[in-house]
Structure 1
Amino acid sequence: MVQYNPKDWITFIFRFHKSDTFRQLIPMMILIGLYSYGVGYLEMEYWKLSENSHVKNITIMHGMLGFVISLLLVFRTNTAYDRWWEGRKLWGSLVNNSRNLAIKLSAILNDEQDKTYFRNLISSYASILNKHLKNEETGLMLFDGLDLKIDHEKHRPNQVAKMLFQKVNDLYTSGKITGDQLIILNAEIQSFTDICGACERIKNTPIPYSYSAFIKKFIFFYVMTLPFGYVFSLGYYVVPVVVFIFYVLASLELIAEEIEDPFGNDENDLPTKKIAENIEKHVTEIL
């Protein structure tokens, strides 16, 4: 995730980060600039269309459709940001629930070996969930008194959650914790699986294809028709104007595409690896 100072305007304006949409759109912007120049040349130099040509009235269509495309892009951006923010709230809940579970276990348990077991396993859940959401391989994790062997053919976070509950149940059957304490700890462990399921819902349910494809086609054909009408009033200045309009509209769509899956490896995705490391640090301090 990109770290920045929101009050530093100069940096925002003149610095081009590698995730900036300008870099990604340069090839298309060049092509659209050449296309706009070609349309201007044909209308003014080759066909020699007059100011009274009906082609000039195509700007009426742009005025009507401009409002529609703005509504679509606002809805698209807000939907993508809602998914990003919901993912952040879920990982914030994972941080809090990991701390709460560690605090309760620290107060309940007396055996140092049991504390070590939970210290390693609670930290592992966040790390494995991060890799699970990014479809990364999980290696063998070796800890004192714990061999965490993950079967990649099965659901990886569920395996860790199962080990957590099995250990809590063993503590209950051995008389180290009471029934009331079992219920309290069970609620915390269950919240891990609830968070995992909510993250998977975001990851595995993309924006409907027909909606995303329609917006892209709408932007493309809207921009492609701009030079035909505005060349009469702007002349060859239509080239930078059309390129700029395309940059603004396409950038909004690119930003929405990037943040709608907040658990990937893009520059603006959630720093889930860093959050998992913080969970490990906090749990280690508590236990």
Structure 2
Amino acid sequence: MKVYNPKDWFHTIKHLLKSDHSKKIFPILLLVSAFSWGVAYLELEYLNLSDKSWVKNITTVHNLLGFVLSLILVFRTNTAYDRWWEARKQWGALTNISRTLSIKLNAMLPVDDKVNRNFFRKSIPLFAETLFSFLRSDYTKFMLDEKDHPELADLDDKKHGPNQVASLIFKKVNALYTENKITGDQLRILHEDITGMTNVCGACERIKNTPIPIAYSSFIKIFIIIYSITLPVGYVFSMGYFVTLAVPFIFYVLITIEMIGESIEEPFGLDSDDLPIDKIANNIRKHCREILAQ
């Protein structure tokens, strides 16, 4: 995710113009401009249509459909942003749960219990790291130097990483209870945090594995294309050859809004607008190790 100053208009506009979206759209804009010029030439020079032609009234249809299109695009961008913001809230919740779990274990475990404290110092952040790896579809095995707990280094890269780590954490917590190192009330308190971690994982999987329905996405694209390529047919009577600039600009605005929605609806990718879940996972590791090192 690119960090920027929203009050700096110059660099914000510069970023939009140099973004991948603009580079992808530019060739299409040239095509739309050429098409608009062709329609204008056909109506004004070849067919010699007058202002009284019924073709001029096509603009009425565009005025009516323009309102519908604006509602659809607003709903589209709001839906995409809701997915992005929901993903951010889930990773914020995971950060808080990891810190809280570390604080509780730091208070419950004796200071001289280096073995168990060392286990949780590495296993709690490992949940966020394996979740990051799972969401990025990059099952890279984390290289861990585990002498006291080799089970952490034996995670199966082909299996669900977060589930494996959560299972190891719960087994260790349950072992502390059976060994009378924590009470039943403390077990219940820790169980709530572990359950919260798996709930976050499930919510992130829901966002990742449930894209916007293809029928809805396809309809918007088709609507924008048909709406844009029919604009010069009616507006050429009032604008003339200026439609070669006006129509591509309108198309640019509409298609950019759609592409922004496409970009943020998948918040776990590598685009500049996607969430920095790698940095969040690193912060979780840093904070948990600081707490349990006390």
Q: How does 1:1-287 map to 2 (within 5 A)?
A: 1-16=1-16, 18-19=18-19, 21-110=21-110, 111-144=113-146, 145-147=148-150, 148-287=153-292
Amino acid at match of 2:80: A
Amino acid at match of 1:115: R
Task: Give me the TM-score of the superposition, normalised by structure 2.
Answer: 0.95
**Alpha-carbon distance, 1:21 to partner:** 2.6
**Alpha-carbon distance, 1:16 to partner:** 4.3
Is the partner of 1:141 in helix, strand or coil? coil
CA distance in 2, matches of 1:74, 1:256: 10
CA distance in 1, matches of 2:225, 2:195: 47
CA distance in 1, matches of 2:10, 2:142: 47
Is the partner of 1:176 in helix, strand or coil? coil
CA distance in 2, matches of 1:15, 1:97: 35
Would the aligned equivalents of 1:125 and 1:161 in 2 still touch at CA under 8 Å? Answer: yes
Is the partner of 2:181 in helix, strand or coil? coil
Would the aligned equivalents of 2:139 and 2:158 in 1 still touch at CA under 8 Å? Answer: no
**Alpha-carbon distance, 1:50 to partner:** 1.2
**Alpha-carbon distance, 1:20 to partner:** 5.1
CA distance in 2, matches of 1:20, 1:3: 17
CA RMSD after TM alignment: 1.2
**Alpha-carbon distance, 1:13 to partner:** 2.7
Aligned residues between the structures: 287
**Alpha-carbon distance, 1:152 to partner:** 3.1
CA distance in 2, matches of 1:106, 1:234: 72
Relative to structure 1, the CA distance from residue 140 to residue 282 in structure 2 (aligned partners, 3 Å threshold; closer, same or farther) is closer
Would the aligned equivalents of 1:223 and 1:246 in 2 still touch at CA under 8 Å? Answer: yes
Would the aligned equivalents of 1:40 and 1:231 in 2 still touch at CA under 8 Å? Answer: yes
Task: Give me the TM-score of the superposition, normalised by structure 1.
Answer: 0.97
Relative to structure 1, the CA distance from residue 15 to residue 254 in structure 2 (aligned partners, 3 Å threshold; closer, same or farther) is closer
CA distance in 1, matches of 2:130, 2:18: 28
Amino acid at match of 2:86: E
CA distance in 1, matches of 2:286, 2:116: 18
CA distance in 2, matches of 1:255, 1:115: 45
Amino acid at match of 2:278: K
| 1:203-234 deviation digits (Å, cap 9, x = unpaired) | 11111111111000000000010010111111
**Alpha-carbon distance, 1:140 to partner:** 4.3
- What stretches of structure 1 move > 4 A for 4+ residues in a row? 15-18
CA distance in 2, matches of 1:136, 1:93: 23
Is the partner of 1:142 in helix, strand or coil? coil
Q: Alignment identity in percent?
A: 56
Amino acid at match of 1:61: V
Please, which runs of 5 or more residues in structure 1 have no aligned partner?
none
Amino acid at match of 2:124: I
Would the aligned equivalents of 1:138 and 1:150 in 2 still touch at CA under 8 Å? Answer: no
CA distance in 1, matches of 2:18, 2:238: 36
**Alpha-carbon distance, 1:46 to partner:** 1.4
| 1:165-216 deviation digits (Å, cap 9, x = unpaired) | 0111111111111111111111111111000001111111111111111000
Would the aligned equivalents of 2:58 and 2:233 in 1 still touch at CA under 8 Å? Answer: yes
**Alpha-carbon distance, 1:163 to partner:** 0.4
CA distance in 1, matches of 2:21, 2:155: 39
CA distance in 2, matches of 1:221, 1:132: 39
Relative to structure 1, the CA distance from residue 43 to residue 268 in structure 2 (aligned partners, 3 Å threshold; closer, same or farther) is same
Would the aligned equivalents of 1:81 and 1:260 in 2 still touch at CA under 8 Å? Answer: yes
Is the partner of 1:262 in helix, strand or coil? coil
Amino acid at match of 2:199: D
**Alpha-carbon distance, 1:17 to partner:** 6.1
CA distance in 2, matches of 1:44, 1:27: 26
